[in-house]
Amino acid sequence: MSVVNLSQPGVVESTPSRYALQVGDIDVLVISDGVLPITAVTMATNAPPAALSAWLRDMYLPPEVLDWPLNVAVVRSGSQTILIDSGLGTEFPDFPRAGQLALRLEGAGIDPASVTDVVLTHLHMDHIGGLLVDGLRGRLRPDLRVHLAAAEAEFWEAPDFSKTVMPAPIPEVLRSTAAQFLDVYRNQLRPFETEYEVAPGVLLRRTGGHTPGHSIVRIESRGEALTFAGDAVFQPGFENPDWQNGFEHDPEESTRVRIKLLHELAASGEQLVATHLPFPSVCHVALSGNTFRFVPTVWDH
């Protein structure tokens, strides 16, 4: 395997874009794919406007359009190197500050040909676009295995956007990007039903909610654990877990999934990483009355 050190220096950037940590014997590297703009109201479509404005103000976030972080991860367990999600890609000129995966894999010294498996939490464009970039796709190994829930692949054959609240162009872009991805990678897909252990200590679990096949990744080794939650948890979701995101295909089920997951993480004390939490997003979850609290971990230097 060509990856020797997941945090070795490569391309120098002025802004930190990768963070390495150990989960027992498993190496985890959280990588920022950049940020993309999102209308603030999309973060909480069912929140009273005054409550959302107050939350944004308290978080020192702009009131109308804010930067949405994009995090992916590279995991090394045994002989396998696993990419969890792939960011936005470079086919979206309106989002020039996202789609940094190829650059940042190079900066981390990770050869795309060393990736044995890809795990996809779901097929939204900001999770699959990186795998469609010509400069990266052509460098992946021909026997790459792409893992996703069977329900996710089935959903995108005829997606239902009736419960989402997104700007008009977005649903069609999501649809076309997912269709392109399924066409390109269909022969490499390894669909699973409910749970699947992709490597020792790396367990995929379908949650549904955000999309019918949305999945999370739990990494466990030697009594330590970390969950990559994809889009099950957004930044407002700790203090306001019932606030619904406009990209959720089943908002009510998403709320149930989010609350259940946050209770599990608060009870276990294990670490959490999620796609759209501020980089590197490594945190713990604490109970705070009837809601939750985001507790960032101290960087391990």
Residue 7 clears pLDDT 90, i.e. is over it? no
Average pLDDT value for the chain: 94
Q: What is the pLDDT of residues 76-97, one digit of tens each?
A: 999 999 999 999 999 888 899 9
pLDDT in tens, 165-218: 998 889 999 999 999 999 999 999 999 999 999 999 999 999 999 999 999 999
Residue 5 has pLDDT above 70, yes or no: no
Mean pLDDT of 139-153: 97
Q: pLDDT-based confidence at 3, cuts 50/70/90? A: very low
Global confidence as pTM: 0.94
Q: What is the pLDDT of residues 253-265, one digit of tens each?
A: 999 999 999 999 9
pLDDT 10s digits, 20-77 = 999 999 999 999 999 999 999 999 999 999 999 999 999 999 999 999 999 999 999 9
How is domain 18-296 classified at the architecture level of CATH? 4-Layer Sandwich (3.60)
For residue range 271-284, list pLDDT tens digits in order.
Answer: 999 999 999 999 99
Per domain, the residue ranges of the chain are 18-296
Euclidean distance between CA atoms 3 and 7, whole angstroms: 10
Q: Concatenate the DSSP letters of all residues of 10-30 into one string.
A: -S--SS--EEEEEETTEEEEE
Whether pLDDT at 14 is above 80: no
